Structure 1
Amino acid sequence: MGSFLSNFNVNVGGPVIAIAGLVGTVVALAMVMTWGSRFPRTILLSFAWIMSVTLIFVVPDSRIVQNFAYLFLLHFDLLDWKVFNQVFCIVGGSIWGATAIAYFRLTKDACGNCGRNDANEVSLVKGAQWGKWFTYMAVIMALPYGIVRWAWALGIPLGTTNLSMVGNEDIVLVDTILGGLCIGGGILTLGLIQRWGVIFPRWCLFLAGKQIPIWFVVVPAILMSAIITITGIKLSPQFIYMIVNGSINHENWGEFVPFLFWLPWGISLGIATLAYYLRRRGRCKHCGKL
């Protein structure tokens, strides 16, 4: 499943995890206690970001996205403690990331709520203007996997000679749903730059015309960006190697190549979501900056 740590021996992994936890406790306390000022700011921030990246992008593997997709098929047989542990790691990594951001704002005399100060105000607004291009990129990157899966559901052997994967009555529904998740996700991504991504459209009944809460969009978009990026990071090296050694060819590319679009899909979705947040966050209630 693309795990980077599948051969990590327990005799090594156990002490490493224990030491990282103990050091992390000290670092976290140093960020909020007065005696923490004795430590160089760069060391504390570096440790926090390393922990965040490790827990979110190194520890989990593609079972995260696999089980997320299977939830829509009401298939829970693959959920086990290893998958739940990966979810806990992602949550922990997110907390470390939030901790790093909060500490950075504190030490830069920026607003603790929004992170704005006079130095970064212009650069952040200018960066948000790039959001539409990353949104379009995210939409395009979401399509290849969905198109291949829908083709198989319709009985079209796109990119494969394995006919057991094409038009099989047992997996047509699976292909339809998995393909629909990607294509539907791509369509929803357009909402990051469309009016219906800010105001509930008319078909939303009693919600029609009301403003969409910013976190109603940002939270699931960031979550999906992380899941997709994790899968891309874990599977892309394997499939690139298979292309180089000839294991992937015109007879089976549909089974592997679409996954190569997931890493740029996840990254571009994350940047597009950040731009959406910067455009919509409005005036900060704490510092008053717009």
Structure 2
Amino acid sequence: MTGYAAALWSLIYGLLGLFWLLGGKGFPFGKNDPQAEMMGSFLSNLNIDFGGPVIAIAGLVGTVVALAMVMTWGRRFPRTLLLSIAWIMSGTLIFVVPDSRIAQNFAYLFLLHFDLLDWRVVNQVYCIVGGFIWGASAIAYFRLTRDACGNCGRNDVDEGSSAKAAAKWGKWFTYLAVIMAFPYGIVRWAWALGIPLGTNDLSMVGNEDNLIAEAILGGLCIGGGFLTLGLIQKWGVIFPRWCLFLAGKQIPIWFVMVPAILMSAIITITGLKLSPQIIFMIMNGSIKHENWGQFVPFLFWLPWGIFLGIAILSYYLKRRGRCKHCGRL
């Protein structure tokens, strides 16, 4: 199923590339995106003469590769080739195409602020969805070609990762993810309380118009950090007492993993796009003691996203238990 979804996604985006190449409006990169460089886009210099053909060809190749992974004629192609293309598609769509506007618009949803949502952001969301579809397709194909269970990925010769081992190393990555979540949140809460931590721009500190926004933005990070602890706590497996009629029931693994994976991707994307700019600003002296609070906390986002992703993997390995489809443990 995921292979067909990847094929459909690729066909649609490939046709969009052809449309833009033939003069259609809406090419979302390069000079058509004036905010690209400021938001850390890796594609701020991509023009339609190059980008249009690349997207069209990538869409065509992706369609063929996705179908090859699920149809019998695809056995003629080397397994490594198909898997490599699938993972390249997934990584490019999730980590190369989007920029920090994904996190920006996600945060602003809690402020009921939708003015920054435009076609360029919608295109990035579509690409992220495509990246996850391609990632799922790669995993499904990998399992199929190694005679593994399509549900859990284990086979008769696979020893797998024990739940006890995952609990040990996962605990430390969870703690690291929690720590990385705090710097940005602490700075934002300081501004909301009127404390000029890392800034001399008084318009950003204690401003009644910004107070709620800063408090919410800081709260999302700090609250997310504390929620991350659920990956290693009992209340991350069993609904706590205050959940009323759900109290005492086991939390479905997807209920935790879906939002956690999404947040890990958003945080990693933002950190990946902003960190190079911030490091360059530090090296050329643009960031000083009077403005570091506006930039430096974002340097923690890339390791935050990576550590969170590893912690999620540990959570999955601990909770997957015996497979209901193949019976393997």
**From 159, 171, 181, the counterpart of 1:142:** 181
Match of 1:110 among 123, 131, 148: 148
Structure 1 counterpart of 2:255: 216
Structure 2: segments with no counterpart, 5+ residues: 1-38
Q: Quick one: which amino acid aligns to residue 167 of structure 1?
A: G
| Residue in structure 1 matched with residue 111 of structure 2 by the alignment | 73
Aligned partners of 1:260 and 1:118: how far apart in 2? 43
SS of corresponding position for 2:209: coil
Report deviation, 1:250.
1.0
Matches within 5 A, 1:17-56: 17-56=55-94
What displacement does 1:119 show?
4.0
Q: Give me the TM-score of the superposition, normalised by structure 2.
A: 0.86
Q: C-alpha distance in 2, partners of 1:215/1:27?
A: 28
Instruction: Report how many aligned residue pairs link the two structures.
Output: 290
Task: Report if the CA contact (8 A) 1:141-1:265 is conserved.
Answer: yes
Q: Which runs of 5+ in 1 are unaligned?
A: none
- Aligned residues: percent identity? 84
Secondary structure of the corresponding residue to residue 78 of structure 1: coil
Could you tell me how far apart the structure 2 residues matched to 1:120 and 1:153 are?
52
- One-letter code of the match for 1:45? L
* Secondary structure at the counterpart of residue 143 of structure 1: helix
Q: Distance in 1 between matches of 2:94 and 2:216?
A: 26
Among 311, 316, 321, the residue aligned to 1:277:
316
Whether 1:249 and 2:297 are equivalent positions in the alignment is no
Shift of 1:118: 3.9
Mapped to 2, the partners of 1:244 and 1:261 lie a distance apart of 17
CA deviation digits over 1:51-99, x for unaligned, max 9? 0000000000000000000000000111111111111100001000001
Secondary structure in structure 2 of the residue aligned to 1:286: coil
User: Does the alignment pair 1:153 with 2:210?
Assistant: no
Out of 220, 231, 234, the position equivalent to 2:273 is 234
Residue 59 (structure 1) aligned with residue 97 (structure 2): yes
Shift of 1:124: 5.5
Amino acid at match of 1:91: V
RMSD of the TM alignment (CA)? 1.0
1 or 2 for the larger relative contact order (CA 8 Å, sep ≥6)? 1
User: Could you tell me how far 1:129 is from its partner in structure 2?
Assistant: 3.1
Maintained 8 Å contact 2:195/2:205: yes
Deviations 1:171-194 (A, max 9, x none): 011100000000000000000000
In the superposition, the TM-score normalised over structure 1's length comes to 0.98
Deviations 1:109-144 (A, max 9, x none): 111111012444343543453111110000000000
Cα distance between partner residues in 1 of 2:198 and 2:178: 21
Q: Distance in 2 between matches of 1:276 and 1:33?
A: 33
CA distance in 1, matches of 2:236, 2:167: 16
1:199 aligns to 2:255 (yes or no): no
Distance between the aligned counterparts of 2:287 and 2:157, measured in 1?
A: 49
Kept after mapping to 2: 8 A contact 1:201/1:209: yes
Task: Tell me the CA shift for residue 205 of structure 1.
Answer: 1.1
